[in-house]
Structures are given as C-alpha cells and as structure tokens.
Amino acid sequence: MKKITLFIALLMAWGISAQNATTLNNPKDVNGNVIYQWDCTANTFAATNNYEIDQNVVFAVDVTGTPLESWLTQSPTGFIRDIAFSFWTQWGGQVDGRFAQIKGNIYGATLNFKQLITSRQLQLTMLQGQVSGDPAVTNALTVGTITQIYGTVFGFSYSPTDATKDGNEWYTDAMNTVISTTTLPYTGTKTSPEFYNSDYNFFYPESNTWDGYAPPCVTLVAQGLNNTYVSNSPIVAYEYYSILGGRLQLKPETGLFIQKAIREDGTSLTTKMFREAK
C-alpha cells in the first residue's frame, strides 16, 4: 500500500511539474537560443540577445499559449492583471519586479541588470560568487565574464488608483525557470547611464526608488532624469492634487491644480492645470 501511495504521489508531483514547465512563446535565434530582447523600433523581438550586464535592454516575454494568457483577461473588479518576474544568476540571489504590457500577450520592461541588482543590494550573490567546482571567485564585471540569467514569470494584479495594492494575487500561475539566457562577455565599454523607476511613475513610484528599472521602450537621456516616453495605454482613472501636492477628493472647479492620469499599464502622466472662475 505504501508503494502505491508513493507512486500516486510521484505521479501528482510529475503532473504539477509538467504544468509548471509550460514554455514561453518567445522566438529563437539561428542557433536555437530563446530571444528575450525587444526591438522597440521594429516593434518586435530582436534577432538575438545582444547586451552586457550593465547595458540597458528591453527584456520581454510572450505568454501566448500559457495558463497566464487566459488568466490575464479575467481581472477582478478594481484591479488590472499583469506579469511579474524573478531573476537570478549562476551565483544565486533573486531580484523581482513587474513587467508592463508591450502589446497583446507580450510584457516587458527596460532593464539594466547591474543597476537593478546593485540598487537592491544583491551584488554579492547576483554579480559575483564562486561557482561549484570552480576554485576561483568570479565577478560579472570582470572583462570576459558571461553572466547566466535565469528567471521565473508569474501573474499578479494591481489597483490603478491605490499604490498600496500593487501586489495582489502575487505569484499566480508561476512558470518556473522558463528564462535561461546569457549576457555578452563583459568588456566594460558599453556601460549605460543610470535611470530610475521613479522617473517614470513606474511600479513602486513612491516608497522604492530602484535603478535600472523602467517601462518598456522608454527613451533614456544621458542623465537618466527625463524621457520622451508617451504610453498609448488607455487612461483608467484620474487623481487630483493641490499645487503643494495635497490629494484632492474632487476635480477643482477653479484655480491651479495638478491632474494625474493613470494608465492601464501602470504608468501615469501629471499635468499642471488652471480653470478660471465662471
């Protein structure tokens, strides 16, 4: 009886693993490697992955054909469903974050792995370490080093009007280790300027300022402080603030105030407005 029970348990475990082994719909390059790099100009996946660990890249996943595809279309009232990620390297560690919709079932973000890892204070485990069987301590920022990037994607939902609820349904339908890719060998000649999620009102706009993390396909300037990005995602809500930053319950009928338009992809646009008294 114990053997039968163990056999059934093994079958159930295999079934769960098979379900979680669903693959992404990302294309492959001529060598059979899965492509995660997005070409914003062509509005499609790039021909290959082509970036160093400290170089800006738009990283994207296509969840077409996975359980997440249908799950995304059934958002609970007051929430919008989206895709999140968790990355690690050959040295271990773990860094998570949120993607935003690019188009259809394709979600991504503008990332700089070195900046994001460092700002989360994970560099000791994600940028350097000792690989099993290798007596030398390797470093992602040593010339010639190839960093191996692995990742899980999963579902979550957020409220477009309440930033405290941006982790609802966290880790739904997790697709375990569906990302496996490598950076280019490090040269130190392609280091990108810093940028921050708070510059774009991206996820965690108030309490956490992270380097190297922004909406997909933003145009980053040298200082990383401004952008020319305008989202085409529909506006789902408005918020109003006084000129001093205080939240207003209603849109003012007169005077100077700030209007914040919140879009479905989690980004927002603030506009200073003035309404004359009638």
Does the pLDDT at position 111 exceed 80?
Answer: yes
Do 35 and 152 belong together in one domain?
A: yes
Q: Which of 206, 118, 107, 214 is nearest to 166 (CA)?
A: 206
Distances (CA, A) of 39 to 50, 102, 215: 11, 11, 14
| Residues 188 and 242 placed together within one structural domain of the fold | no
Q: Check if the beta carbon of residue 45 is closer than 8 Å to that of residue 38.
A: yes
Same structural domain, 241 and 210:
no
Does one domain contain both 247 and 210?
Answer: no
Mean pLDDT check: name the lowest of 1-10, 87-96, 135-144: 1-10
Mean pLDDT over the full length of the chain: 81
pLDDT at site 219: 65
Q: Is residue 80 part of a domain?
A: yes
Mean pLDDT on 210-214: 89
A 10 A CB-CB count for 165 gives 13
Show the domain range for 245.
235-275
Please indicate, yes or no, if residue 229 is contained in any of the structural domains. Answer: no
Instruction: Give the mean pLDDT of 150-155.
Output: 97
Within this chain, do residues 139 and 263 fall inside the same structural domain, yes or no?
no
- Is 224 within the bounds of a domain? no
Residue 198: the pLDDT is: 74
Counting the structural domains of the chain, the total is 2
Query: Does some domain include residue 227?
Result: no
Q: What is the mean pLDDT of residues 190-218?
A: 77
Q: What is the pLDDT of residue 250?
A: 83
Q: Is residue 221 part of a domain?
A: no
Residues 6+ positions from 71 with CB-CB distance below 8 Å: 81, 155, 172, 173
Percent of the chain topping pLDDT 90: 47
208 plus 240 within the same structural domain: no
Q: Kindly report which listed range (64-68, 99-103, 140-144, 230-234) carries the lowest average pLDDT score.
A: 230-234
Where is average pLDDT lowest: 78-87, 162-171, 196-205, 254-263? 196-205
| Residue listed under structure tokens 């007051």 | 78
pLDDT value, residue 226 = 37
Burial class of residue 145 (count of CB atoms within 10 Å of its CB; 0-12, 13-18, 19+): middle
| pLDDT confidence tier of residue 238, bands split at 50, 70 and 90 | confident
More confident residue, 180 or 166: 180
- 60 and 186 assigned to the same domain: yes
Whether residue 190 is found in the same domain as residue 252: no
If asked whether residues 244 and 210 sit together in one domain, one would say no
pLDDT for residue 256:
74
H or E stretch including 248? strand 247-248
Whether 45 and 115 share a structural domain: yes
Instruction: Report yes or no on 225 lying in a domain.
Output: no
> Is residue 205, in this structure, part of any structural domain at all?
yes
31, 104: one domain: yes
Instruction: Say what the pLDDT of residue 277 is.
Output: 65
Q: Using pLDDT thresholds of 50, 70 and 90, give the confidence band for residue 2.
A: very low
Domain assignment of residue 75, yes or no: yes
Q: Looking at the structure, do residues 157 and 269 belong to the same domain, yes or no?
A: no
